[in-house]
């Protein structure tokens, strides 16, 4: 039976559920269970699931799941149009306002933090600055671009690895286009999320179980047509610098399609890269506070798998949604 949120005269703040955790931890299943039980709307907080081209390779919710509960911000962006935290935050805020009970679901911690804690007010550097930064990267390489950045914006350069071309190009375009470095922009005051009470449901499965889930999921993706999905995009000859081409499994399958590696090797590399990414996700979630630092009226629950979404937990969520009083 669906439980609908009710307004509370004691607190005007609206309830907001966040279902977070590493890749392949079961977030979508948990969010769907909550949405069906409470009449919620699931709002995507995974950067790569925003792209229309990547349904299979990013394990987006199935058409059946999307029919079972409202889903927003899935597959809404062309691959050629970059997805970033500022764009996503603006769209997510609009979806929050439209939903009776918003349920954010995703593992892109930077996006969740940007929504709850605010984002640096960085202006669009513009196409000329972007083109100049990419040209510098292509002509001289990431190490030289890092040295260039260190001589002009040492505070930002100190936070970046010389082997990270995408972030170096972003830092260069911001400096060229705005006259200020990323570190300076990040230190500027920002507006956080107001008017909501936040409940964080964090999935944190054991490492072995997560590795097995990642391997099984990639095998299922291949069986469902992930290679054909990547081949269709590759046939369009997209700009290799597009952020969407970094989705897990895409670089490896593109290498296979180019004849550089076999399919088994591509799968092994993709699984290893995804496992490494989940380690970084776990570290991020351990050290970040998505809810507690914004509002004292928050609840944080940790699950090792979505099956632990028990009746007692449901009772806690019902109390949270209804609010005090």
Give all strands of the β-sheet with 14-20 in edge-to-edge order.
71-72, 41-44, 102-105, 14-20, 196-203, 299-303
On whether both 180 and 212 belong to a single domain, the answer is: no
Domain annotation covers residue 8? no
Mean of the pLDDT values across residues 139-164? 94
On whether both 65 and 176 belong to a single domain, the answer is: no
User: What distance in Å separates the CA atoms of residue 67 and residue 118, rounded to the nearest whole number?
Assistant: 32
For 110-113, which contacts have Cβ atoms below 8 Å and span 24 or more sequence positions? 110/85, 111/45, 111/47, 111/85, 112/18, 112/20, 112/45, 112/290, 113/288, 113/290
- Percent of the chain surpassing pLDDT 90: 61
pLDDT tens track for 263-300: 999 999 999 999 999 998 888 877 766 654 444 334 45
Domain annotation covers residue 157? yes
> What CATH number did the domain enclosing 235 receive?
3.40.50.300
On whether both 303 and 267 belong to a single domain, the answer is: yes
On whether both 162 and 309 belong to a single domain, the answer is: no
* pLDDT of the residue at 233: 98
Quick one: pLDDT band at residue 120, thresholds 50, 70, 90? confident
- The last residue of one of the domains, among 159, 186, 213, is 186
Domain annotation covers residue 136? yes
Task: Give every CB contact of residue 269 below 8 A, 6+ residues apart in sequence.
Answer: 252, 255, 261
Domain annotation covers residue 5? no
On whether both 131 and 253 belong to a single domain, the answer is: no
Domain range for residue 148? Answer: 127-186
On whether both 200 and 173 belong to a single domain, the answer is: no
On whether both 309 and 290 belong to a single domain, the answer is: yes
On whether both 209 and 105 belong to a single domain, the answer is: yes
Domain annotation covers residue 94? yes
Quick one: pLDDT band at residue 324, thresholds 50, 70, 90? low
pLDDT tens track for 58-109: 999 999 999 999 999 999 999 999 888 889 999 999 999 999 999 999 988 8
User: What distance in Å separates the CA atoms of residue 310 and residue 136, rounded to the nearest whole number?
Assistant: 54
On whether both 32 and 56 belong to a single domain, the answer is: yes
SS3 233: helix
* pLDDT of the residue at 132: 95
Q: Structurally, how many domains does the chain consist of?
A: 2
Domain annotation covers residue 1? no
On whether both 114 and 228 belong to a single domain, the answer is: yes
On whether both 112 and 261 belong to a single domain, the answer is: yes
Higher pLDDT, 253 or 289: 253
* pLDDT of the residue at 129: 95
């Amino acid at each position: 039976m669906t439980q609908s949120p009710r307004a509370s005269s004691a607190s005007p703040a609206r309830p907001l559920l966040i279902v977070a955790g590493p890749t392949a931890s079961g977030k979508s299943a948990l969010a769907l269970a909550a949405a069906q039980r409470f009449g919620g709307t699931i709002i995507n907080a995974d950067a790569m699931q925003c792209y229309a081209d990547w349904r299979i390779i990013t394990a987006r919710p199935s058409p059946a799941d999307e029919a079972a509960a409202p889903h927003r911000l899935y597959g809404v962006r062309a691959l050629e149009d970059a997805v970033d935290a500022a764009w996503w935050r603006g769209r997510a805020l609009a979806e929050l306002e439209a939903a009776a009970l918003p349920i954010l679901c995703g593992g892109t911690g930077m996006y969740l933090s940007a929504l709850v804690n605010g984002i640096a007010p960085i202006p669009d550097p513009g196409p000329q600055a972007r083109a100049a930064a990419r040209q510098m990267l292509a002509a001289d390489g990431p190490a030289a671009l890092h040295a260039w950045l260190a001589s002009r914006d040492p505070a930002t350069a100190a936070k970046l690895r010389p082997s990270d071309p995408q972030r170096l190009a972003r830092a260069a375009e911001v400096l060229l286009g705005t006259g200020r470095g990323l570190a300076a922009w990040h230190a500027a005051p920002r507006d956080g999320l107001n008017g909501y009470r936040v409940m964080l449901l964090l999935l944190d499965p054991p490492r072995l179980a997560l590795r097995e889930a990642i391997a099984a999921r990639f095998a299922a993706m291949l069986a469902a047509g992930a290679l054909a999905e990547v081949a269709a995009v590759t046939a369009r000859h997209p700009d290799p610098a597009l952020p969407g081409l970094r989705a897990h499994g895409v670089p490896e399958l593109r290498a296979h399609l180019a004849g550089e590696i076999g399919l088994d090797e591509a799968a092994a590399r993709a699984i290893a890269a995804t496992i490494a990414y989940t380690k970084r996700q776990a570290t991020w979630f351990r050290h970040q506070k998505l809810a507690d630092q914004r509002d004292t009226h928050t609840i944080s629950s940790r699950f090792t798998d979505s099956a632990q979404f028990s009746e007692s937990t449901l009772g806690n969520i019902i109390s949270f949604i209804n609010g005090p009083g």
